[in-house]
A = this chain, B = another copy of it.
């Protein structure tokens, strides 16, 4: 492991510090993705797994384990596990997202994709399950089983909460845990678990992942209505998909009669016209929904940083603290 002095962003610093471990994870991902009998599987997964994503989730596992002094081989298995679960979730999300986005496309093509997405996602889940069993730790399996349930429940909850103006902030946070934070917190906690840390340290690692994941998702939802910096994201996707994200939940809660009718028409009934997105952004500004959401994201990032105070002093701890700042830097 060597620290690359030229790397400036925290995830790049982590990647540089954990370079050997990350290479081992990439090798393991490639080896376990292969299927002797079904060559379609690596075809479908390759573009996702090989696409040069930031490997943020596996890095959390590697960082947590190394931060706690782990010297065994299983942090690599668990990092690969976490990436497989993430990829499987993305594949299944494709099916879900297509339901609202591609209604006009030919069904056969759409469903061929769906079919592969569902089955290859299942295959990756099964592979991840085998990888975690290899660690021989029931506690690790317990953590990941609970995370899997939270993820699946959150996805269903998101489906039923979509376009429902009665969605509460509490429900929103549950959805965010399912969508993002549950895998972040499990990724951190299993690193502490295989390093045989005490309960308080494992809780601290969990809390960091949980708060970081929530901050991460809130920032993402905020940038969907413009945020304050340029990103690659299309502004307004969530509005068009009628998602009840935090800024909207807050603006709806304070809406007068006319505004309520606007939200009912655009989100609940989905009858959107030109100019509606601008009007939505105006209403979010009126109630300072953007600003209060921004403050929430920053508070979650601070919570993440505070959690790490219980953990050993280590260069990786500094990088994880910097990562929490970096996640909200896009909106500060």
A residues neighboring B (CB under 8 Å) = 35, 37-41, 92, 95-96, 98-99, 103, 105, 107-108, 110-112, 114-116, 118-120, 122-123, 125-127, 129-130, 133, 136, 138, 141-142, 144-146, 148-149, 151-153, 155-157, 159-160, 171, 174
Contacts and interface: CB of A to CB of B under 8 A. Distances in A.
* Residue of A115, A118, A144 with highest tally of chain B CB at under 10 A: A118
Contacts of A141: 129, 133, 138, 141
Given A92-B118, A96-B118, A105-B107, 14 more contacts: A37-B171, A95-B118, A98-B111, A99-B112, A99-B115, A103-B108, A111-B114, A122-B152, A123-B156, A125-B148, A126-B149, A126-B153, A130-B149, A138-B141
B114 A95 contact: yes
Contact of A129 (B95, B110, B145): B145
A156 B120 contact: yes
A35 B149 CA distance: 10
A157 B38 contact: yes
A41 B118 contact: no
Given A95-B95, A160-B38, A138 B133 contact: yes
A126 B148 contact: yes
A149 B127 contact: yes
B123 A38 contact: no
A37 B149 contact: no
Contacts of A160: 38-40
Q: 6 closest A-B pairs (Cβ-Cβ)?
A: A99-B111, A126-B148, A123-B152, A126-B149, A38-B156, A129-B145
Nearest to A111: B99
30 contacts: A35-B153, A35-B156, A38-B160, A95-B111, A95-B114, A95-B118, A96-B115, A96-B118, A98-B111, A115-B159, A119-B152, A119-B156, A119-B159, A123-B149, A123-B155, A123-B156, A125-B148, A125-B152, A126-B152, A129-B145, A129-B148, A130-B142, A130-B145, A130-B146, A133-B141, A133-B142, A133-B145, A136-B138, A138-B138, A138-B141
Contacts of A105: 107
A286 to B, nearest CB: 31
* Residue of A115, A125, A136, A155 with highest tally of chain B CB at under 10 A: A115
Nearest to A94: B118
